Structure 1
Amino acid sequence: MHIVYIHQYYCNPSMAGGIRSYEQARRLVARGHTVDVITTDITGTQTRLGWRQTEDEGVRVHWFSIPYNNSMSYARRIRAFAQFMVVATAKAAALRADLVFATSTPLTVAVPGVLAAKLRRVPFVFEVRDLWPEVPIEMGALRNPLARGAAGALASFAYRNAAEVVALSPGMAAGVLARRPSTRTTVVPNAADLAMFRVRQDEVDRFRARHEWLGDRPLIVYTGALGAVNGVDYLVRAARRLRELDPGVRVLIVGHGKEWEPTKRLAASLGLLGDTVHMWEKVPKAELPVILGAATMSTSFVRPIRALWDNSANKFFDALAAGRPIAVNYGGWQADLLTGSGAGLVLDPVDADDAAEQFAKHCRDESWLAQARAAAHRLAVEQFSRDLLFDRFAAVLDRAAGRRAVPTTGE
């Protein structure tokens, strides 16, 4: 089967960002499919106009330079979305396809997906990574009634034209079905890359030894976006109280985004930066395993907005893959997993001092840490391994194309 795979922000392991599309595309190729990925070079460093093509383990990747970052205004982001929508439509329409797959965000990727599928008279499958327009509406980012109506119409357009929808969480699936109950929807969350996050103890020891500020101290890490939805200032405020409770604990924030500089300024103003709190710019995905391997505990945060509970953050599953406890400050399906399994902590959504109390209580409790690490590993292996979830994903594409699903071996 020839699959055109549209993802505006595709990344491979040499890049900083989630690698879900890379992992799914290369596994499709391994099963004998042909895959063309249509994406953007967001760095703005590409000098040649038009498209360039690379290959990732047999996947043909078509890149078009459209600069983008979380520091841009909403108007500039919308312009980037619209630009990709136009060029991706032309590219997708020019490629042979037996099935067209598009993954959000942004929601506008549905347009080239639907149009190319209609032109080629092949099925279209849509993947929902964030529930739009519900999330930006609840966050107050989408206030204009006309814009809300247009976004809602675009979501309905995507779901109505999809043979099937893949949703990254149960809450996202419920949102799809609330808008269009007849849409066949399958939940395929982000995954734990067990092989990638399997690191040797000597690598971890060398990492800790290289950083004098760390040594053998407990380490709490946050890896990923510092955007408006994340509220990583929560961790900095927790670190202020944590320093009083246990001055030896260290916090490492690794990432990028619109809130990077405000978060850094907050840490500096509290006298934490370079001591209790350390901040690194984003790193390639391939460098995360040793960082998480050195971590005592990982974290995932969102602002106290109910719609954000339905996220499927890569950082959550990376922690599971690394066998590390994870602390979250939100409810919903991930919090339920942690509570039920013992794989981490569910913190108060707004009380950072209480979070500090929880960190201080647990990050030197070797008995709790051992149990939580084991529980995290079990979740990774039994429920969220990449191969296990890829089978579910591939079954959706096979079903949409009218093919018999082909099983694969586990990880």
Structure 2
Amino acid sequence: MHIALFHQYHHNPDCAATCRHYTFMAELVKRHQITLITSNAWESKRLTQLYDWVPPGVELVSVPVPYHNKMGIGQRVKAFGEFAVKALLAGRKIAKPDVIWGVSTPLTTAWAAARVAKYHQVPWVFEVQDLWPSFPIQMGAVPFKPAQKLLYHLEKSLYQSAAHIIPLSMGMEQYISSLGIPAQKMTTLVNGTEVPERPLSFTEREALREKLGLAGKQVVLYAGTYGRANDIPMLVQAAELLQNHPQIHFVFAGQGFDEPLLQSAAQKQQNILMLPPQPRHQMLELFSMAAVSLVSFIDLPVLAANSPGKLFDSLAAGTPVVVTNPGWTKDLVETHHCGWYSPAGNAEALANSLLMRLQNQAELETMRENAHSVAQEQFDRLQMVPKLERIFTEAVSRK
């Protein structure tokens, strides 16, 4: 089977980003022909050179479209549109695939995938990584009502034309169902991660902390994008409230819009350490050394349905997670007792919960064990590959 993947932001393990599709392609290419149509946006941002840019055997079609997390709205819209057009033209030139796999975000990539599928007269599968256009609209990036209406119409038409839909959370699936899309047309495959057989031991974790000058500290980790939606100002405020508790130290590893804010805070506050972005293959070690990790977002309804990669990485490392949004992630950490919920935007509540929970070592150890167990049972990407493969096979057979 020839599968053509349209994904604007391909990364590999040398990058500071999740590698969901790298893992999937590496497994699928053992049995199928894979063509990846992507931009070159991340290739220059590799932090190491330990991995092939694409898994061996995957055919790469790379189009030059720049992108970075600090872009303004206008620059992002230009990048989205430019990639969609170039991907559409490139997709028409490739050998006819059996099925097309279109990954949103942004929605324009899914549109290009759908158009190329129509051109080749083959089915396409729509992977929904974030709810677009709901997310940019709720963020205020699309203020004009006619444009919102047009985007919502495009979104629904893509759901309708896809042979199958892969949401990344049950919240996304419920939203798509509310638009009249039948449940049998959807299979939820959460973001997931690569799960090690065992988390690092206490001795190994302490060695990592010592390496960073954090020996004996209880590390509160935020690892990921410092985006407008991630509520970084609230985390800085929580750290400020805990300055008189020197055993608690906040570590930030990432990049993005709020980086200047963090740099300023790190200069003023003794309990903040900023690390540069880390390559993917080193991220689980970073999560392992933390007492707890933070998965924070601002209080937008659409964000209750998201499927953040840092959540799964933390669980795989056996590190409890604090989530700040209601929805399925809150239910997850509370049901499996592998973390806790603290309301979005409330720095005082977060600081108080950290101060209380980090004093209870027995509870933290139980949470560590539960975190790794639930990751093994539910969030291992390798276990998702047979389901993904079956989705493609059935889409082709129905056609």
TM-score bracket for this pair, using the shorter chain length: over 0.9
Q: Is the 8 A contact 1:267 1:277 kept in 2?
A: yes
Whole-Å separation in 1 of the counterparts to 2:20 and 2:282: 16
1:202 positional shift = 6.0
Q: Is the 8 A contact 2:33 2:58 kept in 1?
A: yes
1:267 positional shift = 4.5
Q: How does 1:1-400 map to 2 (within 5 A)?
A: 1-30=1-30, 32-42=31-41, 55-96=54-95, 97-182=97-182, 184-195=185-196, 198-199=199-200, 203-212=204-213, 214-244=214-244, 246-268=245-267, 271-272=268-269, 275-400=270-395
Q: Is the 8 A contact 1:330 1:348 kept in 2?
A: yes
SS of the aligned residue for 1:187 comes to: coil
Shift of the 208–55 alpha-carbon distance from structure 1 to 2, 3 Å rule, reads: same
Q: Is the 8 A contact 1:316 1:326 kept in 2?
A: yes
1:224 positional shift = 0.8
Whole-Å separation in 2 of the counterparts to 1:284 and 1:197: 21
Q: Is the 8 A contact 1:4 1:36 kept in 2?
A: yes
Gaps of 5+ in 1: 47-52, 404-411
Whole-Å separation in 2 of the counterparts to 1:400 and 1:197: 37
Whole-Å separation in 1 of the counterparts to 2:117 and 2:271: 52
- Using structure 1 for the length normalisation, give the TM-score: 0.90
1:363 positional shift = 1.9
SS of the aligned residue for 1:229 comes to: helix
One-letter code of the match for 2:62?
W
Greater alpha carbon shift after TM alignment, 170-179 vs 314-323: 170-179
SS of the aligned residue for 1:327 comes to: strand
Q: Is the 8 A contact 1:44 1:66 kept in 2?
A: no
Q: Is the 8 A contact 1:138 1:307 kept in 2?
A: yes
1:44 positional shift = 8.4
Gaps of 5+ in 2: 46-51
Shift of the 44–22 alpha-carbon distance from structure 1 to 2, 3 Å rule, reads: closer
One-letter code of the match for 1:175?
Y
Shift of the 196–4 alpha-carbon distance from structure 1 to 2, 3 Å rule, reads: farther
One-letter code of the match for 1:76?
Q
Whole-Å separation in 2 of the counterparts to 1:43 and 1:94: 23
SS of the aligned residue for 1:75 comes to: helix
Q: Which residue of 2 aligns with 1:408?
A: none
Whole-Å separation in 1 of the counterparts to 2:92 and 2:197: 35
Q: Is the 8 A contact 1:156 1:180 kept in 2?
A: no
Whole-Å separation in 2 of the counterparts to 1:55 and 1:303: 34
Q: Which residue of 2 aligns with 1:49?
A: none
> Kindly, what percent of the aligned residue pairs are identical?
29
Q: Is the 8 A contact 1:192 1:320 kept in 2?
A: no
The count of corresponding residues between Structure 1 and Structure 2 is: 390
Whole-Å separation in 2 of the counterparts to 1:198 and 1:40: 34
Whole-Å separation in 2 of the counterparts to 1:209 and 1:372: 23
1:54 positional shift = 5.5
Could you say what the CA RMSD is over the residues aligned between the two structures, in angstroms? 2.0
Per-residue CA distance 1:240-264 (angstroms, 9 max, x = gap): 11222x2221111111111222333
- Using structure 2 for the length normalisation, give the TM-score: 0.92
1:139 positional shift = 2.3
Shift of the 222–216 alpha-carbon distance from structure 1 to 2, 3 Å rule, reads: same
Per-residue CA distance 1:222-280 (angstroms, 9 max, x = gap): 11111111112221111111222x22211111111112223333454xx21xx201112
Q: Is the 8 A contact 2:12 2:54 kept in 1?
A: no
Whole-Å separation in 2 of the counterparts to 1:45 and 1:240: 36
Shift of the 18–343 alpha-carbon distance from structure 1 to 2, 3 Å rule, reads: same
Greater alpha carbon shift after TM alignment, 217-226 vs 387-396: 387-396
One-letter code of the match for 2:304?
W
1:148 positional shift = 0.5
